[in-house]
Amino acid sequence: MQREKNNIFAGVDLWLVLIFAILVFLGWLNIYAASTSEIHYEILDFNARYGKQLIWIGLSIPIIIVVLFIDTRFYERFASIFYIVAILSLIGLFIFGKNINGARSWYALGSFTIQPTEFAKAFTALAIAKLLSDKVFTFKPLKNHIKAFFLILLPAFLITLQPDPGSALVYFAFFFVFYKEGLPLYYFVIGGLSILIFVLTLKLGMHGFMPIMIYITLGVLVIILIYLIFYKLNILKKLWLQLLIIFSIICGYIFSINYIFNNVFQQRHRDRFNILLGKTTDTQGIGYNTNQAIQTIASGRITGKGYLEGDRTQGKFVPEQDTDYIFSTVGEEWGFIGSLVVILLFITLMLRIIHVAERQKSTFSRVYGYSIAAIFFFHFLVNIGMVIGLLPTIGIPLPFFSYGGSSLWGFTLLLFIFIRLDANRSYEW
């Protein structure tokens, strides 16, 4: 099963390519719907966003060809170089970057802007794959934990400084990979617990000067103590100090949450949390986007209003509807059935990536595939979760759907490097 060197498409996973093509096509249709406002006869009107998006889509074809053309070993060998270039390009933003909407996230070449953040994901994924595929690498020594965390936290930190905290959050997707490759479970238990406690502390609020969560924590402690006293007294004797320290830390954490929430967070962050936790209702100010998006989706009903018939989309009721809120267009014009199709497409894409990753013989390809599945998942979760009002407003794009060249190319790069790695699987050494 020698790969034919002169045919770059040989061995390519057609399922992935097909889903990619469908998503990009559907994405463009919705961008067209969301960005037409006045009469445009030309589909290739490059002043309109749908026209520009068509150019980005067109330009992604050479990118795909180049990616498929390059030899697999090149990605593995130069993963570190790619990573360093990505980091440098993120650092460079602070010097040469262009400030758009309050974030220094773009390089501008004339009227053309490019967002390195979108490409850094792919390069970080390569670096992680490289690190984890090292034959001597295991998650046993703590040193390796730190190495792995450093690789993802460095770009995340730089992106937070732009500031673009939403995109930085995406890097936490790599923890799925770490877990699969042997990172101990307690990181996730601690992580999950801290998020749960954070949300509950804010949701339940205060009783006088005392957060209500403190009472609940003490209640849990009492229950655990009772259980241990009656059934596992010897464990209690051994571990009482650890237990006490853990609970002191949790209580300290709960107390600090209020401080962080009130003093470190900015008002807009607080607003987002409060609206989502149902503590304030606001359909005019900060909650306007989400409320409009939900109403727009709800108005689509089962079958939708029909393509280009969505009056709320056409009336520009939802801000940022062609970028972060693109899914509301799907909901309105294609209804429940259309939304279902899009969600199923994404799920199919991610499950297919995992499936393909599992069949890789090389650790590098497998880890890389797993990383991008996690990245797609994270975007899918946060973006659609936000638009349908399940998660706070965090502005990250929906892969292949949201308007924007950098984002489209970033995801294309991410996916096609994997397709390239997979095409090579049969003769890996």
Partner 1 sequence: MKKGNFLYISIIIVGIIFIGRLFYLQVLNNPYKISPLNNASIKRVYDYPERGYIYDRNGKLLVANQQSYDLMIIPREVKSMDTIEFCSLLNIDKNTFIKNFNKAKKYSTRLPSTFISHVSKNDYAYLQEKLHKYKGFYIQKRSIREYPLKTAANVVGYISEVNQNQIKENSYYQQGELIGFQGIEKTYETFLRGVKGVKRIQKDKFNKEIGSYKNGIYDTLAIPGRDLTLTLDAVLQQYGEQLMTNKRGGIVAIEPATGEILSLVTAPSYDPNLMVGRKRSKNSVKFFGDTINKPMFDRGLQAMYPPGSPFKILTGLIGLQENVIDVNTIFSCHMGYKYGRNRKMGCHAHASRVNLNFGIYTSCNAYFANTYRNIIEKFDSPSTGMNTWNKHVESFGLGNFLGYDLPIGRKGLIPDAEYYDKWYPAKNWTATYTLSNAIGQGEVLASPIQLTNMISAVANRGYYYTPHIVKEIKGETLDSKFTTPHQTTIDKEHFEPVIEGLLEVFENKKGTAYSSRVKGIEICGKTGTAENFAIINGERKQLTDHSIFVAFAPKDNPKIAITVFVENGYWGSRWAGPIATLMIEKYLNGDTSRKYLEDRMFNGSLKEEYDRQLNDPEYHAEGEK
Residue numbers at the binding site for partner 1 (CB under 8 A)? 37-39, 176, 179-180, 294-295, 297-302, 308, 311-312, 314-315, 317, 331, 335-336, 339-340, 343-344, 346-347, 350-351, 354, 358, 370, 373-374, 377, 380-381, 384-385, 388-390
Token pair, residue 94, equals 């602070």
Q: Which residue has the tokens 């990753």?
A: 357
How many angstroms separate the CA atoms of 171 and 149, rounded? 10
Q: Which residues, at least 6 apart from 394, have a Cβ–Cβ distance to it below 8 Å?
A: 165, 166, 169, 382, 386
In the bound state with partner 1, the residue whose beta carbon lies nearer, of 38 and 42, is: 38
Closest separation between CB of residue 328 and partner 1, Å?
11
Closest separation between CB of residue 121 and partner 1, Å?
16
In the bound state with partner 1, the residue whose beta carbon lies nearer, of 295 and 363, is: 295
In the bound state with partner 1, the residue whose beta carbon lies nearer, of 133 and 339, is: 339
Ordered alpha helix ranges (H), 260-299: 267-276, 288-298
Closest separation between CB of residue 93 and partner 1, Å?
31
Closest separation between CB of residue 291 and partner 1, Å?
8
Closest separation between CB of residue 366 and partner 1, Å?
9
In the bound state with partner 1, the residue whose beta carbon lies nearer, of 104 and 145, is: 145
Phi and psi at 260, nearest 5°, equal -60, -45
Q: Which residues, at least 6 apart from 30, have a Cβ–Cβ distance to it below 8 Å?
A: 322, 326, 329, 330, 333, 401
Helix axes 405-423, 326-358, angle to 10 degrees: 20
In the bound state with partner 1, the residue whose beta carbon lies nearer, of 83 and 334, is: 334
Hey, is 401 helix, strand or coil?
coil
Q: For residues 36 and 309, is the Cβ–Cβ distance under 8 A?
A: no
Spatial CA neighbour of 425 closest among 355, 365, 373: 365
Closest separation between CB of residue 203 and partner 1, Å?
19
Instruction: Break the chain down into helix, strand, coil percent, rounded to 5.
Output: 70, 5, 25
In the bound state with partner 1, the residue whose beta carbon lies nearer, of 253 and 336, is: 336
In the bound state with partner 1, the residue whose beta carbon lies nearer, of 71 and 311, is: 311
Answer whether the bond into residue 163 is a cis peptide, omega within 30°. yes
In the bound state with partner 1, the residue whose beta carbon lies nearer, of 165 and 389, is: 389
Token pair, residue 19, equals 């889903």
Closest separation between CB of residue 179 and partner 1, Å?
6
Q: Which residues, at least 6 apart from 362, have a Cβ–Cβ distance to it below 8 Å?
A: 133, 421, 425, 428
Closest separation between CB of residue 278 and partner 1, Å?
13
